[in-house]
């Protein structure tokens, strides 16, 4: 009996070892990966997310499977290149408006007060990539602060994570209100962190903090967006 049990146990282990941990959208298998909670995404949902964000479905699947980065962050869309299929920024913005949060409400509401006429002391950053990230408990931002809603990460320069392309503490004002996991909607954010977006992402890409790891579905629903914002000059 013990021998039969051991043979069965080895067989089960060998089958499981054929599948790396992660999200298997087309198989419906759901594994835990580096502290990311269990989740399953159907093939149809994966393709819908890929269409909304203009990315390749297989690359999206791989990004979702990747788990936390070396800094304890999970930002799958920040590492995805958008398809080069001639889609316009205006069409991408229309798709952004179709994105629905887990509470059934739109993630984005355009800011009627935003103006492309830039006042003195501000810089207009047009059509920049925006993604969302969650972080493991206890992690701090590159500026040394406890992350909280309203903070964003930007690219760092010269290979130095504490050398952001937009200085820490800089306020930015987006062309839209974004629904955050704490139930608020806001268009004003502050640069307090850095990240490494895709090499083809825009120079002034931003990655919005979306809370702890349990909020990963909301960061995924946010996807990648094309935003315009005013940067306050310090």
Domains parsed from the chain with CATH numbers: 19-232 (2.40.40.10)
230/161 Cα distance (integer angstroms) = 23
pLDDT grade, residue 1 (50/70/90)?
low
pLDDT grade, residue 31 (50/70/90)?
very low
Question: Using an 8 Å Cβ cutoff, are 107 and 99 in contact?
Answer: yes
131/209 Cα distance (integer angstroms) = 9
Q: Which pLDDT score is estimated for 18?
A: 38
pLDDT grade, residue 197 (50/70/90)?
confident
Question: Using an 8 Å Cβ cutoff, are 149 and 211 in contact?
Answer: yes
Rounded to two decimals, what is the model's pTM?
Answer: 0.84
Parallel, antiparallel or unpaired: strands 151-155 and 185-195: parallel
């Amino acid at each position: 009996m013990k021998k039969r049990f051991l043979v069965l146990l080895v067989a089960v282990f060998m089958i499981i070892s054929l599948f790396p941990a992660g999200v298997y959208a087309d198989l419906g298998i759901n594994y835990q990966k580096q502290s990311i909670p269990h989740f399953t995404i159907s093939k149809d949902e994966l393709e819908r997310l890929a269409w909304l964000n203009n990315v390749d479905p297989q690359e999206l699947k791989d990004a979702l499977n990747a788990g936390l980065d070396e800094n304890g962050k999970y930002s799958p869309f920040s590492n995805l290149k958008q398809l080069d299929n001639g889609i316009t920024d205006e069409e991408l913005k229309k798709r952004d408006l179709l994105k629905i949060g887990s509470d059934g409400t739109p993630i984005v509401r355009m800011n009627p007060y935003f103006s492309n006429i830039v006042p003195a002391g501000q810089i207009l950053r047009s059509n920049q990539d925006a993604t969302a990230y969650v972080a493991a408990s206890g992690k701090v931002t590159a500026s040394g602060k406890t992350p909280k809603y309203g903070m964003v990460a930007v690219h760092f320069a010269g290979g130095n994570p504490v050398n952001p392309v937009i200085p820490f503490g800089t306020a930015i004002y987006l062309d839209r209100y974004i629904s955050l996991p704490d139930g608020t909607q806001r268009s004003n954010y502050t640069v307090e962190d850095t990240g490494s977006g895709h090499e083809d992402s825009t120079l002034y890409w931003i990655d919005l903090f979306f809370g702890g790891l349990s909020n990963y579905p909301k960061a995924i629903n946010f996807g990648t967006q094309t935003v315009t914002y005013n940067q306050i000059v310090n």
